[in-house]
Amino acid sequence: MSISLEFKPRGAYDYTGVEWKREGIELLTVHAQEDHDVVVLHVPDGKLSAFVKRVSEYISQNNRAGTAPKNASLVNAIENIRRTAFSELWSDSATPPEDKQPHWFQIWLRHTSGHIDDLVASFMEQAKKVGIDVEPGYVRFPGRLVVAACGTRAALEQTVELLDMVAEIRFVEPTAEFYLSDLTPEERADWVDDLLGRTTFIVGGVPYVCILDTGVNYGHPLLDFVLVEGDAHTYDPAWGVHDHAGHGSEMAGIAIYGDLTAALNGEHEIEIPHRLESVKILPPVGATPPKLWGAVTTESVSRVEVGDPDRDRLFAMMTTSVGHLEGNPSEWSATVDQLAYGRPPLDITSIDDEPDDTPWVPRLFVLSAGNVQWADWAEYPNVNANSPVQNPGQAWNALTVGAVTNLVQIDSAKHKGLKAIAEKGHLSPASTTSVLWARSPWPFKPDVVAEGGNGSLERGAIVTVGPESLRVLTTSSDATGELLCSSGDTSAAAADVARICAHIKARYPDYWPETIRGLVAHGAEHTAAMRATLPEAPRRQEKEQLLRTFGYGLATQEQSEFSTAHRPTLVVQREFNPYRKVDDGGIVLGEMQLHDLPWPSDELHRLGPAQVEMRVTLSYFVEPNPSSRGWQSKFRYQSYALRFAVKGATEDDDQFMRRINKLERNPEEYADYGDPEIAQWKYGAQLRARGSLHSDVWTGTAAQLASKAQIAVFPVGGWWKDWKELKQWNSTARYALLVSLRVADTVETDIYAPIATIIEQEVQVNIDAGDL
C-alpha cells in the first residue's frame, strides 16, 4: 500500500531516513507544499506495524533542529498513518464511513501461513481490545479469510497490529447489486457452487411448498434438488408447466433460500428441510385468463393432492386481483377459506342423508397482500394507506403477507441523485394495507410483513424500482444463462414467509396448519420504525391503523420456530364442540375450554417487580359463508368464532367465570367487561377480536404474572349456531393456543427449564398442557 504522511514545518526531517529497505519500505516521492511536506511511501502487506515503529523512532531521534519533537507531531503522524491505511485497505465501491457510528464491515484477512483458527483468534483478540465485535464464523478464499465485524472506523484505526492482518475492508453483506452488477457470470457461478457445497438437502418425509404462480423452470442448479419434473403441474395442459414470465422461478428461490444475498455471503452450513411443487395458474401471454379464480385454485390444489395425497404441504400464492375495496369476501377468498378449513362446501339439499365421510384436510395458504403500482410510489406512504389489500388477501384463514424493507443502501457514486423511498424497518413502497377497512368487522390484513425490497426517487420525483441494492436476490428462470436476478414486493415477502412455515412444519411435523399460522404471527414483532408511527399514548384507532398497515409485525424464523430461556412458548392444540343442542331443540354455546398456565410461581415471585410480557395468540380456521345476505345475521360469514380471556391477578374463580359468561352472551358489547387489567393489554379484547387470528400482549410485573394461572378459550356466535336447518351443532372445531413469556435478557433467569419440568409432570398424570 501507499502511505502519505504530512510533516510540518517544511524541511524539518531527512525523509530518506524513513526508508527501511530490509522490510521493503521505500520512499516514493516528496511533495512540497506551502507550509508542509507530503511524503509518499510504499509499505508492503503485513509491514504496517513495522512502518509505524520506524516512523516513531525516526521522528524521535532524527530531528534536524536537535530538539525533541512535540508529542502532538508524533501522535498526528501515527494517526495519519492509521487513517491512510484504512483508506488504502478500503475496497468497497461505496464511500467509506466518515461518521462516528458503528457499522458492520467485511474484514478480509491475509492468510499466507499458519492455521486458520489461529489467525481468526488473533484478529478477534486485537479487535476486542478496541471494542470491535467479531461475529463467529468466516468465509475462506485462496489467501484470504473473511470475517464480519461491527465497530466504528475510529476503532479499526486504533491499532496497527489489527490493520496489519487486513488485506481489504468492505461494508458487510453485499446487496443484490454486488452479485448482479459487480461479478461476471463466471464469478456468479462460482458463488452458486460454493453455496451448493455448503448446503444439505434433507431427504425423506419433508414438507412441500406448492407455488401457485406462473410455473417454475426446473434445471436451475439451486433448485435441482428441490423441484423434480414430476412435481411441476399446470391448471390448463395447453399452457405447459414452464415459467413463461420468470416470476414463479423467482419465488421458488426465495421459498427455499430466502434472500440469496444472506445465503451466498457466508461459509456456514445450510440445511434445506423442504421441497417444492409448482402449479401454473397464470396463462401465457395472449391466452384468456380464467374468470373464476376460486375454481382455478380448487382445481390446482386437487392436481397436486391427487398425485400425492399423503404429502405434508402448504400453498403459496402470489397472484392477486384488484377489487373488494372494503374487505368483504369474494368467490376467490371464500374458496381459499373453504380449502383451508378442509372439507367441501355443505350441500344443503342432502343434509338429512347419510353423514359425509369425505376426509377433512385442513390446509395452510400463504398469500401476498398485493402491490401498489410502482408508478405511484412517489406518493408513499399515503398511497399505501389508500390502496387496499387485494383479492384474495382478505381470506380469513390465510396467512396474508405484506412487505417491509431493511434495504436502504445506495452507492451514491454509482447512482447519483437517488434516495431510498422507505426508511429502514418501514413499510415497503409496494405494500398494500387494510387501512380503508378501519371500523369494519373484517380481519386485519396483512397478518404479518416480510422483506419486500425498496425503491428510490430521483430528485425527489422520478420513481426507480431499485437500484439492485434495494431489491431481493433470487434465482432466475434462465438456468443456462444468468443464474441470479432481483425481485421483491409482496410476492417476495409471501415466498419468504412460506419458507418460514415450511421450516416450522419440518421441525414440528405434528403441528396443524392453524398452529403454524399462529406461530408465524406469534413470533412477529413491530420494528422501531413501525412503533414510531404511534404517539406516546396511542388511542384505539391509532393501534388499529398499526395493525392494518403492518399486521402483527415483521415475521422471523428464529422467533417463530424456537423457544429460549428468556422466551419460552407454550403450544396447545385442542378440538371441541363450540355448540350443542339442548332438550328444547335450541342451539346453545358449548363448554368453555380452560387451560392452566404452567408458570413457575416461585421463580416469578423471586423476580418480583421485574417487567415481563405475556403474549397470547389464538388461531383457528372457520368454515365460510360468503353469501352477502347479511353477515351479522344468521347468515354471518364465520361458522363459529372463538375468543380468549386470561384470569386477572386480582380475580377469584367466580369473578372470572362471571366475566366469561358475560362475554359469551354479547362478545362485541362486553369485550372488555370486568377485565381488571384492561390497561395492561396492548390492544384489548375488543380490538383483537377480528377474523380467526387473535394476538395480544400483556405487560406487568413478574409477581403479577405469577397469579395469572388460567386462560379460557370460549365460543361466540356463528352460522353453525344460528342456521339451525344445516344441523352443524355437532361439528367439531379446533384451535391452536400459543402463550409465551418474555423476560429482559439483562435479567438473570431461566424461565424455560421450570416450565418444561411442570409440563412433564402434568403429562404423567394426563393433564392437557400442550407442548413446548
Return the CATH number at 494: 3.40.50.200
Strands (E), 478-603: 484-487, 569-576, 579-581, 587-589, 593-596
Domain-embedded: residue 419: yes
Looking at the structure, tell me whether residues 609 and 695 fall in a common domain.
Answer: yes
Distance between CA 20 and CA 54 in Å, rounded?
8
Closest to 106 (Cα-Cα) out of 142, 156, 154: 156
Domain-embedded: residue 151: yes
Could you tell me if 420 and 456 are in contact, meaning their C-beta atoms sit under 8 angstroms apart? Answer: yes
Q: Which helix (H) or strand (E) holds 209?
A: strand 208-213
Domain-embedded: residue 770: no
From 151, 172, 193, give the residue that closes a domain: 172
Distance between CA 46 and CA 161 in Å, rounded?
9
Looking at the structure, tell me whether residues 570 and 710 fall in a common domain.
Answer: yes
From 126, 149, 172, give the residue that closes a domain: 172
Distance between CA 772 and CA 756 in Å, rounded?
7
Distance between CA 3 and CA 433 in Å, rounded?
54
Looking at the structure, tell me whether residues 518 and 656 fall in a common domain.
Answer: no
Domain-embedded: residue 549: no
pLDDT tens digits for range 158-193? 777 787 788 888 876 678 888 898 888 888 999 999
Residue located via cell numbers 405511484: 376
Residue 316, pLDDT score: 98
Looking at the structure, tell me whether residues 374 and 513 fall in a common domain.
Answer: yes
pLDDT tens digits for range 453-498? 999 999 878 998 989 999 999 999 988 888 999 999 999 999 999 9
Domain-embedded: residue 556: no
Q: What is the pTM of this model?
A: 0.79
User: Residue 579 has which C-alpha cell?
Assistant: 355448540
Looking at the structure, tell me whether residues 40 and 164 fall in a common domain.
Answer: no
Looking at the structure, tell me whether residues 83 and 128 fall in a common domain.
Answer: no
Amino acid letter for position 771 = D
Residue 96, pLDDT score: 84
Residue 100, pLDDT score: 80
Looking at the structure, tell me whether residues 277 and 299 fall in a common domain.
Answer: yes
385 Rama sector, left if φ>0, alpha if ψ -120 to 50, beta otherwise = alpha
Find the distance separating the first CA and the last CA of the chain, reported in whole Å. 56
CATH code for the domain in which residue 112 is found: 3.30.70.80
Residue 77, pLDDT score: 55
Domain-embedded: residue 613: yes
Domain-embedded: residue 480: yes
Closest to 673 (Cα-Cα) out of 689, 654, 688, 686: 686
DSSP letters, 90-158, are B--SSPPP-SSS-EEEEEEEE-SSS-HHHHHHHHHHHHHHTT-EE-S--EEETTEEEEEEEE-HHHHTS
Looking at the structure, tell me whether residues 584 and 668 fall in a common domain.
Answer: yes
Q: What torsion do the CA atoms of 21, 24, 25, 27 make, to the nearest 10 degrees? A: 70
Closest to 735 (Cα-Cα) out of 622, 597, 620: 620
Residue 23: domain span: 2-88
Could you tell me if 626 and 442 are in contact, meaning their C-beta atoms sit under 8 angstroms apart? Answer: no
Looking at the structure, tell me whether residues 468 and 581 fall in a common domain.
Answer: no
Residue located via cell numbers 422461478: 249
Residue 564, pLDDT score: 60
Q: Residue 760: how many CB atoms within 10 A of its CB?
A: 12
From 34, 57, 88, give the residue that closes a domain: 88
Contacts of 669 (CB under 8 A, 6+ apart): none
DSSP letters, 753-769, are HHHHHHHHHHHHTT---
Q: Which residues on adjacent β-strands are paired with residue 367?
A: 317, 400
Residue 224, pLDDT score: 94
Looking at the structure, tell me whether residues 163 and 297 fall in a common domain.
Answer: no
Could you tell me if 734 and 692 are in contact, meaning their C-beta atoms sit under 8 angstroms apart? Answer: no
Looking at the structure, tell me whether residues 160 and 186 fall in a common domain.
Answer: no
Which regions of the chain are under pLDDT 70?
A: 1-9, 12-21, 28-29, 40-42, 45-46, 48, 50-52, 54-85, 93-94, 172-173, 267, 286-289, 323-324, 352-356, 563-566, 628-635, 664-674, 745-746, 759-772
Residue 763, pLDDT score: 39
Contacts of 416 (CB under 8 A, 6+ apart): none
Q: Which residues of 720-752 are buried (b: 16+ CB within 10 A; e: fewer)?
A: bbebeeeebbebebbbbbbbbbbbeeeeebebb
The CA radius of gyration of the chain, in Å to the nearest whole number, is: 31
Looking at the structure, tell me whether residues 617 and 660 fall in a common domain.
Answer: yes
Q: Which residues on adjacent β-strands are paired with residue 451?
A: 404
Residue 765, pLDDT score: 31
Domain-embedded: residue 551: no
- CA-CA distances (angstroms) from residue 63 to 3, 15, 70, 232, 466? 21, 11, 11, 79, 56
Q: Please give the tally of structural domains in the chain.
A: 4
Distance between CA 233 and CA 235 in Å, rounded?
7
